[in-house]
Amino acid sequence: MRKISIIGGGQAGLLLGFALLDKGYSVSLYTDRSPEQVLNSRIPSTAFLFESTLATERELGLNFWEDLVPYGEGMHVDFRGPDGSIGLTVQGRLGDLQGQALDQRTKFSRWLQEFPRRGGKLVIQAVSVADLEKIAAESDLTMVAAGKGQINAFFARDDERSVHSAPPRNLAAMLLTGPKLTGDHPWKRVPFRPLRFNFIAGVGEYFSLPFYTHTRGECRSFLFEAIPGGPMDRFQDARDGHELLEIARQVIAEFAPDDLHHMEGAELTDEDAWLKGAFVPTVRKPIGQLPSGACVMAIGDTAVLNDPIAGQGSNNAARMVRHLVARIVANGNAAFDAAWMKDTFETFWDESASYTTAFTNALLNPPGEPVMTVLGAASQHPPVADAFMRCFDNPRNYWPWIADLDEARRFVAERTEERCAA
């Protein structure tokens, strides 16, 4: 039986581990925290997963919370001026591509317990580069899914594919529960349970998503993406989640005042339900060569780390896992050498991750004319809005029109004609 080792017990590492166990591989997963430590840590993320990712988890029987987590059924987006005034509103449904957001503490601690039950070998260890040498010597293939962990510095930055040299946003996130945040229609003017997006020109963005955590059940996540040095960039000195929540109230009062009443009675779901910080989105060379000459491969955020603005990191990890499993199986008993790793990553980059990265980077900048054309039409025509939102499930579907005005006009015309014909 071929032996595969994975470093990192997050979205990419665990999902790949389960998928390979399912295919009959011998899988060892090394991660730096026990299930209990993960469960009792601060939230690392507020990841929302679209249907394609949920389907992968479902196929592997990992959807333990599917009936508990509220579905995000679509997006309600306000594009605002720097004073908070609304310039454009777009509301679209995800339809059968709706998604869910589950606390990663809840999920990964449970998945880590499940992994040995399904025959995987779980090792709780913070892996160093020296450890990698030993692990790689004992494995047919070693993959590093350490997220933003320090070990990813072992993989060189790809300067051509990495467009950022500093964090594009300073981030703050929290999980809140409150009387005006949960339920089927928490936003009265929205006829479904929305992902609530606010894009505030020159200031930043704030996102609020239906969410589930083991500590309180249904709740909502709030993620603030502040342009560094701008008027929303005031979260980073907060000393705890309570201070973060107070700043959030002020920011919403200033930049999205019509949302403020949702914060009445809102409180943190638990003392650890917050995060703050910043990072530099980075695409890395996927192959790391150890002193012995053995090669290991980067996956997930370790390979392609994007800003969370487009909600794609975990979804990208799941797409990558599907690609990797197909390539690993197709390789049969041949060596997992540097050529295999390069080809495997490059095909994924060309088919998927390059689009995810370009879409994410596009959202960090003011929209260009093609996007404005589609958004303008989407604000008037629900089928255009629905089509726009459904592309979040796979950002490749934003092309070609996202970068081409004629294609954008065609995209709009096709959707509005479809409606007339219906």
Under rule CB under 6 A, residue 11 binds ligand FAD: yes
Q: Closest separation between CB of residue 156 and ligand FAD, Å?
A: 17
Report the residue from 4, 5, 6, 10 that binds ligand FAD according to the rule CB under 6 A: 10
Q: Which is nearer to ligand FAD, 283 or 377 (CB)?
A: 283
Under rule CB under 6 A, residue 9 binds ligand FAD: yes
Closest by Cα among 97, 53, 46, 11 to 213? 46
Q: Closest separation between CB of residue 286 and ligand FAD, Å?
A: 13
Q: Which is nearer to ligand FAD, 278 or 403 (CB)?
A: 278
Closest by Cα among 210, 281, 245, 284 to 47? 210
Q: Which range, of 240-248, 260-268, 311-319, 386-394, touches ligand FAD by CB under 6 A?
A: 311-319
Report the residue from 100, 315, 360, 394 that binds ligand FAD according to the rule CB under 6 A: 315
* Binding residues for ligand FAD restricted to 139-198, rule: CB under 6 A: 145-147, 149, 151, 171, 173
Under rule CB under 6 A, residue 353 binds ligand FAD: no
Q: Which is nearer to ligand FAD, 91 or 208 (CB)?
A: 208
Report the residue from 186, 210, 308, 370 that binds ligand FAD according to the rule CB under 6 A: 308
Radius of gyration of the chain (CA): 21
Under rule CB under 6 A, residue 47 binds ligand FAD: yes
What sign does the CA torsion over 181, 107, 236, 313 have? negative
Cα 135 to Cα 122: distance, rounded to the nearest angstrom: 13
Q: Which is nearer to ligand FAD, 107 or 262 (CB)?
A: 107
Under rule CB under 6 A, residue 356 binds ligand FAD: no
Q: For residue 299, which phi and psi values (nearest 5 degrees)?
A: -140, 170
Q: For residue 343, which phi and psi values (nearest 5 degrees)?
A: -65, -40
What sign does the CA torsion over 386, 392, 394, 399 have? positive
Report the residue from 248, 317, 324, 341 that binds ligand FAD according to the rule CB under 6 A: 317
3-state secondary structure 193-238: CEEEEEEECCCEEEEEEEEEECCCEEEEEEEEEECCCCCCCCCCCC
Under rule CB under 6 A, residue 288 binds ligand FAD: no
- 229-242: b or e for each residue (b if 16 or more CB lie within 10 Å)? eeebbebeebeebe
Under rule CB under 6 A, residue 17 binds ligand FAD: no
Under rule CB under 6 A, residue 31 binds ligand FAD: yes
β-bridge mates for residue 226, sequence order? 170, 204
Report the residue from 35, 92, 204, 300 that binds ligand FAD according to the rule CB under 6 A: 300
Q: Closest separation between CB of residue 385 and ligand FAD, Å?
A: 20
Q: Closest separation between CB of residue 30 and ligand FAD, Å?
A: 5
Closest by Cα among 34, 385, 51 to 190? 385
Total count of residues recorded for the chain: 422
Cα 298 to Cα 389: distance, rounded to the nearest angstrom: 30
Under rule CB under 6 A, residue 341 binds ligand FAD: no
Cα 253 to Cα 301: distance, rounded to the nearest angstrom: 34
Q: Which is nearer to ligand FAD, 115 or 411 (CB)?
A: 115
Q: How many residues bind ligand FAD (CB under 6 A)?
A: 35
β-bridge mates for residue 206, sequence order? 198, 224
Distances (CA, A) of 292 to 288, 296, 298: 11, 11, 18
Report the residue from 286, 313, 383, 395 that binds ligand FAD according to the rule CB under 6 A: 313
Torsion of CA 171, 172, 177, 182, to 10 degrees: -20
Report the residue from 5, 20, 28, 48 that binds ligand FAD according to the rule CB under 6 A: 48
Q: Which is nearer to ligand FAD, 30 or 355 (CB)?
A: 30
Under rule CB under 6 A, residue 124 binds ligand FAD: no
Q: Which is nearer to ligand FAD, 147 or 241 (CB)?
A: 147
Under rule CB under 6 A, residue 383 binds ligand FAD: no
Cα 111 to Cα 14: distance, rounded to the nearest angstrom: 7
Q: Enter the tokens of residue 194.
A: 């929305």
Q: Which is nearer to ligand FAD, 28 or 91 (CB)?
A: 28
Instruction: Give the residues lining the site for ligand FAD (CB under 6 A).
Output: 7-13, 30-33, 44-48, 126-127, 145-147, 149, 151, 171, 173, 223, 300-301, 308, 311-315, 317
